[in-house]
Amino acid sequence: MKRRLIWIMAVTSGAAAANLYYNQPLLVIIAQNFQVSAREVGLIPMLTQIGYAVGMLLLVPLGDLLERRRLILTMSGVTTIALLATAISPNLIWLSIASLMTGIATISAQLIIPFAAQLVKPQERGKVVGIIMGGLLIGILLARTVSGFMGARFGWRAVYWLASGITIVLAVALSRTLPKSKPSLRASYTGLMVSLFTLLREQPVLREASALGAMCFGAFSAFWSTLAFLLAQPPYHYGSEVTGLFGLVGVVGATAAPVVGRIADRRSPRLAVGLAIAITAASFVVFWLFGYQIWGLIIGVILLDLGVQANQVSNQVRIYRLPPEAHSRLNALYITFYFIGGALGSVLGTLGWSHWHWNGVCGTAGVMLLTACVVYLRGVKSKAET
């Protein structure tokens, strides 16, 4: 793979993932626009992540069955339509449905990552996956910055008009640079779906990686789904613009992705996962103790994004050491559970805020991370990790 193609894949993955997170800094503005409560508007990020999990489970496995380039371009077109539907939403119900559809459609990143892993040499896989995952997480974090800035100045709908335009531009770039692929599997769609259960049953490393990813991402989502509410309260009194700026702070942690990928290539990726869980847990200790001080939030965000990014890259390196002919299906299963965890974290974090404010958010994340620790300590290693 040429470096130019790797970077186009990274940018496209970041832009696709960003579609899932534009709503988080905008929740206060959307709630005011539609005159609904924090609990009601908190369903928006949850539905987006549930939609993404559905898309991962039902559509991403097609990457092993169909030509990947065409599938990626098709889903980019559907994503554009879903983003436009979001931009014209007349009420919360329409917005909820459009958010669900955006989540289902915007799966290009999870088609690109196994595609890239298949195109490079095994000894370079962690590095390349790390670069693309770094682009993906930076896209997630910058999404919050862009949406917070635009939401404060032009309204929340302008964010989705811009996102649809970006998706179209990147689809054109991909059509000119992505190579065609050969399907690795010949089966019916029903057979493809049945094979997912077989993989889940036969691959203990996949089960462990999925559980660890889900719990860490759940904690991550609990924080980002409620940050706008924290910053709108005393002592901060900040709007969506400042909430979005915390995405820039998180980029510091996201830049570690290629480094984490190289560590996973050279050492045990499972060890890297354990360190990532510890860093993520440390971030919530900082949030709990110093969340009402701006420097505490900044340090916590850096640790949180570093920990979650390291967890994600290391887990994906682990599953890409499993049978290569099943990479799309393995990735689909992993990311499905990952975003189920994210959706759970979003809704529980919002509930925690509604009842106990910031202590409730930190407590929710703490329970999810404690679950991850238990799974990790009782976990397994593959032969490639011994």
* pLDDT (tens digit per residue) in 222-272: 998 899 889 988 889 887 778 777 877 777 766 665 666 666 666 678 888
DSSP result, 1-36: --HHHHHHHHHHHHHHHHTTTTTGGGHHHHHHHHT-
For residue 4, pLDDT beyond 50: yes
| Crossing angle (nearest 10°) for helices 125-154 and 294-319 | 140
Place of tokens 């620790």: 373
Name the domain count of the chain: 1
Query: Which tokens hold the place of 96?
Result: 């909820």
The pLDDT of residue 130: 76
Task: Return the half-sphere exposure (C-beta side, CA atoms, 13 A cut-off) of residue 305.
Answer: 27
DSSP result, 225-281: HHHHHHHHSTTT---HHHHHHHHHHHHHHHTTHHHHHHHHHHS-HHHHHHHHHHHHH
What's the pTM?
0.75
57: domain CATH number is 1.20.1250.20
Residue 377 CA to residue 367 CA, distance in Å, equals 16
Q: Quick one: average pLDDT of 101-106? A: 93
Q: Quick one: average pLDDT of 80-101? A: 94
129 phi and psi angles, rounded to 5 deg: -60, -40
Domain ranges, residue 286? 3-385
Give 30-55 pLDDT, tens digit per residue. 988 898 887 788 889 889 988 988 99
